[in-house]
Amino acid sequence: MQGKRVTVLIPALNEESTIGDTVTAALAIGGVGQVIVIDDGSWDRTASIAEDCGAMVVSAGKNLGKGGALNMGSNYISGDVLLLLDADLGKSAAGAEKLVEPVLAGRADMTVAVFPQGAGKAGFGMVKGLARAGIRHFTGIYMDAPLSGQRAMKSALYFDSIPLAGGFGVEVDLTLKAARRGYSIIEVPVEMFHRETGRDVKGILHRGRQFMHVAGTLFLALQMVRVIKYFGRFLYSGGSGSFNGRGIWGRKYYK
C-alpha cells in the first residue's frame, strides 16, 4: 500500500487541554494527510484549538456519543487507511505510527493498540471482561485490549462496518463486524497514554454507562447470530460460515 494516504479521525468532547497536542502529533505520523476532529457538542475551546493546529473540524452541533461522532466522521474520510484516536492522548498520539505501519504494509486489515500495563483508564475490569468474553464467544478471537479505541484499518473495512454502535459499544461492534467479514485483526503494543478514569463517583458512572453500551452491542450481535443460525445454511454455503467451535461465526482471524 505504498503511497497510500492516511486519514485520522478524532471524536472530541471538551478536550481543550489535550486536543492541540493530539492533533499536532497525529499530523506528524508518516502517511497522514488528513486529520478530522468531530466536535461532539463541546462547550469549551476544543474546536478552535483543533482547527488552529491544522485539523479539519466538523461540528456535531450536539452530543452524539462516541459511536455517533465516528459515524458522522465517515462522511469526510478521504484516505485509503483510517486511524482512530482518542482526543486525550496528547503528545503520546505519536505512538500510533506503530498501528499504521502493518496496515500500510498489508500485514493486517486492522490493528488495535495495547497500552503499557497501568497506562490505560483505571477501572474495575468488568467492562473489559465483558467485552473480551463477548468477542471471544462470537468470533473465537482473544483480545488483550478489546476496548481500545486506538485503531488503524483499511478505510474499506470501516465503510463495511458503518453504521457503528452508538456510545461506548463502538469498539466491540467494530471488532465483531470486521471479524464477521473476514478482515484480519492484530494487536500492537504501543507507548501511548490516556487520562485515567478513576474509581470515584464520576468514574463509576462512566463505567456503568460503558458496561450497558457494551452489553447492548453484544445483545444485538446475539440477535444477529440467531438469524444466521436460522438462515446460515443458505447464507454461508461451502462451509465457510459453519459453526465449528472457533466462534459462532466459524472463523479464526486472530494471531
pTM equals 0.82
The reported pLDDT for the residue numbered 254 is 37
With beta carbons less than 8 A apart as the criterion, state whether 140 and 246 touch: yes
134 CB contacts (<8 Å, ≥6 apart)? 172, 214, 217, 218, 221
Alpha-carbon span 4 to 80, nearest angstrom:
6
Would you tell me how many other CB atoms lie within 10 Å of the CB of residue 202? 10
How much is the pLDDT for 34? 97
Q: How far apart are CA 82 and CA 152, in angstroms?
A: 6
Q: Where are the beta strands (DSSP E) in 147-214?
A: 151-154, 185-189
At 86 the pLDDT is 97
Give the model's pLDDT for residue 35: 98
pLDDT score, position 174: 95
**47-73: pLDDT as tens digits:** 999 999 999 999 999 999 999 999 999
Mean pLDDT score, 125-134: 90
Predicted pLDDT at 153: 98
Average pLDDT, stretch 86-92?
97
Please give the domain boundaries of the chain with CATH numbers for all domains. Answer: 6-239 (3.90.550.10)
How many Cβ atoms are within 10 Å of 222's Cβ, its own excluded? Answer: 13
Judge whether residue 206 has pLDDT over 60.
no
Model pLDDT, residue 22: 98
pLDDT, the chain, mean: 84
pLDDT in the model for residue 252: 37
| 32-39 vs 6-12, strand pairing mode | parallel
CA distance 170 to 165: 5
CA distances to 50, 149, 223, 227 from 220, rounded to whole Å, are 35, 20, 5, 11
- Cα distance from N-terminal residue to C-terminal residue, the chain: 22
C-alpha cell at 144: 488483550
- What is the predicted pLDDT for the residue at 253? 36
Express each pLDDT in 167-195 by its tens digit: 778 999 999 999 999 999 999 999 999 87
pLDDT of the residue at 64: 93
How does pLDDT run across 209-251, given as a tens digit for each residue? 667 776 767 767 666 655 455 455 555 454 443 333 345 444 4
Measured between alpha carbons, how far is 67 from 19 in angstroms, rounded to an integer?
A: 19
**pLDDT value for 242:** 37
- Report which DSSP code applies to 248: T
